[in-house]
A = this chain, B = another copy of it.
Amino acid sequence: MKEIAPARGVWPPAATPFCADLSIDFERYVAHCKSLLADGAHGLAVLGTTSEANSLDLAEREGALERLVAAGIPAEKLLPGTGTPSIGDTVRLTRHAASLGVRGVLLLPPFYYKSVSEDGLFAFVSEVIGRVGRANLQIYLYNFPQMSGIAWSPALVGHLLKSFPKTVVGLKDSSGDVAYTSRLLESYPGFAVFPSSEALLLAALKRGAAGCISATANTQVGAIRALYDGWQGADAENLSRAASAVRLLMQKFPLIAAVKAVLAERLRAPDWARVRPPLDPLSPAERKELAAELAKIAAEAPA
């Protein structure tokens, strides 16, 4: 079996648009995913936190992947999230994604029970890998303790890497904890670590990061791609500053709602602003403030 190198580059966690009845708006979804790829994304980290995947039911998650592939998006450009609190549902989603030929999957820890041990988390991942039973499966651990309540500790990452060296190949770090990212990069050279913010990307690339999986790549994938391509060049600091300005502004707002508000405004498609409960859309005042601040950043940017 051919061994495939871990993913690298800019993999936006594509936002998921909803119709008025809260079902997925597939036409907009496919168009958005294609435009992200056309604008420079190396691939798409679909069905993660920004995609509101945990607000989709299991059948919708499977259906969304199938629609993207059927619409002509190459499966090897997809890194879907498949983590759930149970071994069974995680195996179901992971097998389904693998059967479509995706590049790999992003795996949240089982996120209901808290204060679980590293042995318990190791046993969970080990059961999932064994039951999925695909030698060429690539798993990227998804670290977002602010949401999941569970962190993949560097020691546990090391244990998993040692036990499943061809399967556990990377990690998306949404913690924003630079020391954590750095520790992983120093401890495990070749492990594909993706920070979740373009504002942390330049420093992370200098330490060996694989790329970036950022919510705000939904709205500025080109700027992030330029930074990824140019990070060793003379203009790196300017590219980083430009991408970071938008990110640092947007993360002052509820981030998923802010991403969707920007897409709604830019595409003149108010429906894009819709989120699924329990999330709320931005208030009109927040939308106005965000738009004004983004316009200010655009006006200050060098031509």
Contacts and interface: CB of A to CB of B under 8 A. Distances in A.
Interface in A142-159: 146-149
A87 B124 contact: no
Contacts of A206: none
A38 interface: no
Interface stretch (A57-65, A180-188, A218-226): A57-65
A55 interface: yes
A22 B127 contact: yes
A110 B59 contact: no
A92 B114 CA distance: 25
A127 B277 CA distance: 8
Contacts of A123: 277-278, 280
B149 A85 contact: no
Given A22-B87, A111-B112, A117 B59 contact: no
A89 B277 contact: no
A294 interface: no
11 contacts: A54-B85, A55-B113, A56-B88, A57-B84, A57-B87, A112-B147, A114-B149, A123-B277, A123-B278, A124-B278, A126-B277
